[in-house]
Structure 1
Amino acid sequence: MRTILVGSRKSRLALIQSRYVIEKLSDRFADLTFQIRHLETKGDQVLHVTLSKVGGKGLFVKEIEQALLDGTIDFAVHSMKDMPAQLPDGLEIASVPVREDAHDVLFSANGASLEGLAQGAVVGTSSLRRAAQLLHYRPDLQVRPVRGNVDTRLAKLKKGEFDAIVLAAAGMKRMESPELQTAEYLPFEISLPAVGQGALAVECRSEDAELKALLKEINDETTAVTVRAERAFLKKLNGDCQVPIAAFCERKGNKGLTLTGLVASPDGSRVLKTRSEGANPDVIGIQAASELLSRGAGEILAEFRG
């Protein structure tokens, strides 16, 4: 019998996601036992500024990845959208369970839809990707950063600090949040999701062949291949730089893969979008990114980095 050490952030959503993977493994392997070790990341500690100003979403995984490399934990469950395009040597994503809803959802103080928000309404989001697309659709909005867990953000909305906030549907569904009943699901045409949004990444050491074989049993092939295309798109664009990049790939029967990709300026004044189709996830991801680069995405990225 092996006791597997699972590293997890302390947030309610992170623990729900870790327990979900543990439950899936336990259903298949009754002789395994698990122990969750709570870890704190810099992203959990720095809440007063936007992620893009303190190093991006990689701040939610660096300390956990170091614990993996040190051998103090055996695997970790991340939100795929928090994973940098490039992983540290010696680590890999061994399993990608079935994807949850990838949509963004809008909550407003008075129940108004995105269309129905007043002129100049204040909308809170921690995501440059969401901000850029919202401003492109409605340039009159005032988009302001909001950090903290889901409950904290909803509390700020109720206190009147914002007219509306935008969150990911996946996390709300995993937490079985009753507030979802009042949310507006934003179509991908308005708010294309982050790379990997709604999917989980189960990360472990590359050398742990035994554990990788176990984790493979809960891998969802369709989710894994579509997310792979999105991450190929992100990597080609050097997406570790926190610019507004979005992508969503889907598989429809035997018709292969279709990926929609987007790069935007933070103020939403320039939005470049493309679609790529094919059977190879790496190829269509790179093709989509290359097309956007040929249309000026590199200038947007360079300007933002500067």
Structure 2
Amino acid sequence: MDKLVIATRQSKLALWQSEYIKARLQEQYPNMEVELKTFSTKADKILDVPLAKIGGKGLFTKELEIALLNKEADIAVHSLKDVPVEFEEGFVLAALTKRFDPRDALLSEKYSSFEDLPKGAVVGTTSLRRRLEIMLQRPDIELKDLRGNINTRIAKLKAGEYDAIILAATGVQKLQIEDEVKYFVPISTDIMIPSMGQATLGIETLDNPQLVELLSFLNDKNAVIESTVERAFVRTLEGGCQVPIGVKATIIDDKSIRVQAIVGMPDGSETISEDITASIDNYENIGQNLAQVFIDQGAKELLARAEEIAFK
């Protein structure tokens, strides 16, 4: 291929991610022309409603997929956590890049940790998963919806609308804006389990073997293993991107992998969680097997109730 067009969202973070892939492609194929084309997705346009209420799947990806179908672009670069676990026919996840920092982070002008937050402090997040995990730490604080891109969210924090906000650490780090707030504190995955695929980039294409082969150099073996476990867990639970599910697979060494997972009600009143270590040889089945353990404990009913509350 002489030319490759990347479909991307217009946010600074999406553009950073697409530029990162563009640079990797040009390094690998010096004679190839790589162009970025921007599109606006449904989730970018509706900013006054929590994502869970707009409908969970494909909010950040649908318009980019249409661009691929219409041959306006060859590949789409996504944050893997936004990519539905089931693909429409004809689309494939062609590559998964090396994972950046998978943790969530606390940002605040006044407080350096969950423990420091005073009773009744206002914390900003719209994610049902983060709400659940914050409530387990600090049931005495007030949660307030927070939408918009990273820069908008930080501006709201600095304007005093929140005592703290929770964001994915990787986005802040990629844009190098950690210093814009007094405290930027990544949170251990032992305290807040991230969403599936957090901090991994997924490259989506139409099912074209030649193009998939061309992109194969972008695949990171560890990211592929971890993401396979996490996505299989969510797929088996039949949970979308907007339900309260945290799952993080971490490769310990060449023999074993740790998986932390949690589902529950957004208010923290009911949870199911597990923290297991399994053989890496079996990684393709671990997510599904763990999800079955959750299902046996009533996870599907729990998630159905959580979703009902979220959509009210």
Structure 1 counterpart of 2:68: 68
Q: Classify the secondary structure of the residue corresponding to 1:58.
A: coil
Q: How do 1:17-166 and structure 2 match up within 5 A?
A: 17-56=17-56, 58-166=58-166
- Larger mean Cα displacement after TM superposition, 38-47 or 290-299: 290-299
Shift of 1:265: 0.8
**Change over 3 Å in CA distance of 1:298–1:178 after alignment to 2:** closer
Q: Is the 8 A contact 2:97 2:219 kept in 1?
A: yes
Deviation at 1:181, TM superposition (A): 7.1
Q: What is the distance in 1 between the residues matched to 2:257 and 2:302?
A: 27
CA spacing shift, 1:178–1:136, aligned 2, 3 Å:
closer
Structure-1 separation of matches of 2:29 and 2:112: 47
Q: Counterpart amino acid of 2:250?
A: E
Partner Cα separation in structure 2 for residue 221 and residue 100 of structure 1? 14
- Following superposition of structure 1 onto structure 2, how do residues 142-291 of structure 1 map, counting pairs within 5 Å? 142-179=142-179, 182-206=183-207, 208-240=208-240, 242-276=242-276, 277-278=278-279, 279-291=281-293
- What TM-score, normalized to structure 2? 0.94
Q: Secondary structure at the match of 2:146?
A: coil
Q: Which runs of 5+ in 2 are unaligned?
A: none
Letter in 1 for 2:192: S
Note the 1:8-23 alignment, pairs <5 A: 8-23=8-23
Distance in 2, matches of 1:219 and 1:122, equals 40
- Mapping 1:291-302, distance limit 5 Å: 291-302=293-304
Cα distance in 2 for partners of 1:305, 1:225 equals: 29
Q: For 1:281 and 1:246, how far apart are their aligned partners in 2?
A: 18
- 1:204 maps to a residue whose letter is T
RMSD: 1.4
CA distance in 2, matches of 1:224, 1:55: 27
Deviations 1:74-95 (A, max 9, x none): 0010000001111111111111
Q: In 1, Cα distance between the equivalents of 2:307 and 2:103?
A: 28
Most deviating of 248-257 and 100-109: 248-257
Runs of 4+ in 1 over 6 A off after TM superposition: none
How far off its partner does 1:158 sit?
A: 1.0
Unaligned runs of 5+ in 1: none
Instruction: Name the SS of the counterpart of 1:303 in structure 2.
Output: helix
Q: Deviations for 1:12-40, whole angstroms, at most 9, x for unmatched residues? A: 10011001011111111112111111111
- Distance (Å, rounded) in 2 between the aligned partners of 1:171 and 1:266: 23
* Contact 2:83–2:241, Cα closer than 8 Å, also in 1: no
Partner of 1:304: 306
Provide the rounded CA distance (Å) in 2 between the counterparts of 1:153 and 1:229.
31
Q: Percent identity among equivalent residues?
A: 38
TM-score, normalization by structure 1: 0.96
- Report the 3-state secondary structure (helix = DSSP H, G, I; strand = E; otherwise coil) of the residue aligned with 2:47: coil
